[in-house]
Amino acid sequence: MGAQLINGKDIAQSIRKELKEKVSQLEARGKKPGLAVVLVGDDPASAVYVRQKKRACKEIGIYSEEHHLPEDISQDELLTLVDRLNKDPNIHGILVQLPLPEGLDETEVIDAIDPRKDVDGFHPINVGRLHIGEKGFVPCTPAGIIELVRRLEVPISGKKVVVVGRSNIVGKPTAALFLRENATVTICHSRTKDVFEECRQADILVAAVGKPHMVKKEWVKPGAIVIDVGINRIDGRLVGDVDFDEVKEVAGAITPVPGGVGPMTIAMLMKATVAAVE
Ligand code: GUN
Ligand 1 neighbourhood includes 169 CB (under 6 angstroms): yes
Q: Is 53 a catalytic residue?
A: yes
pLDDT tens digits, residue range 222-246?
999 999 999 999 998 999 999 999 9
In a domain, 59, yes or no: yes
CA 140 to ligand 1 center in whole angstroms: 8
DSSP-derived pairing of the beta strands 160-164 and 237-239 = unpaired
pLDDT of residue 52: 97
Determine the structural domain holding residue 224 and report its residue range: 139-262
Active site (annotated) includes residue 97: yes
In a domain, 274, yes or no: no
Same domain, yes or no: 181 and 252: yes
Confidence (pLDDT) at 142: 98
Assess if residue 222 is contained within a domain: yes
Q: What's the half-sphere exposure (Cβ side, CA atoms, 13 Å) at 67?
A: 18
> What is the tens place of the pLDDT at every residue in 22-71?
999 999 999 999 999 999 999 999 999 999 999 999 999 999 999 999 99
202-217 residue pLDDT tens:
999 999 999 999 999 9
At 30 the pLDDT is 96
pLDDT confidence of residue 230: 97
Name 25's Cβ contacts closer than 8 Å, sequence gap at least 6: none
Confirm if 241 and 228 have CB atoms less than 8 A apart. Answer: yes
Mean pLDDT in residue range 171-181: 98
CB burial of 63-97 (b: ≥16 within 10 Å; e: otherwise) equals bbeebebeeebeeeebbebbeebeeeeebbbbbbb
Across the range 132-160, mean pLDDT stands at 97
Task: Decide if 15 is inside a domain.
Answer: no
Q: Which residues pair with 214 in a beta bridge?
A: none
Ligand 1 atom with least separation from CA of 140: 6
Q: Give the residue from 62, 87, 21 showing the smallest Cα distance to 272.
A: 62
pLDDT at 277 over 80: yes
Ligand 1 pocket residue status of 120, Cβ below 6 Å:
yes
Query: Are 104 and 143 in a shared domain?
Result: no
For residues 243 and 194, state if they share a domain: yes
Residue 278 within a domain: no
Cβ of 98 below 6 Å from ligand 1: yes
Residue 26 to residue 36: CA distance in whole angstroms: 19
Quick check: is 46 in a domain? Answer: yes
User: Is 233 found in the same domain as 147?
Assistant: yes
Mean pLDDT of the chain: 97
Phi, psi of 171 (to 5 degrees): -55, -55
Residue type, 132: I
Distance in Å, CA 101 to ligand 1 centroid: 14
Residue 159 belongs to a domain with what CATH number? 3.40.50.720
Domains in the chain, number: 2
Q: How confident is the model at residue 1 (pLDDT cuts 50, 70, 90)?
A: confident
For residue 91, is it within any domain?
Answer: yes
Ligand 1 centre from 180 Cα, in Å? 22
Both 247 and 198 in one domain: the answer is yes
Environment class of 158 (CB within 10 Å of its CB; exposed 0-12, middle 13-18, buried 19+):
exposed
Taking CA atoms, 128 is separated from 26, 205, 227, 241, 250, in Å, by 29, 24, 25, 29, 37
pLDDT for residue 270: 98
Report CA(197)–ligand 1 centroid distance (Å).
Answer: 30
120 is catalytic: yes
**Per-residue DSSP letter, 220:** S
Looking at the fold, whether 83 and 146 belong to one and the same domain comes out as: no
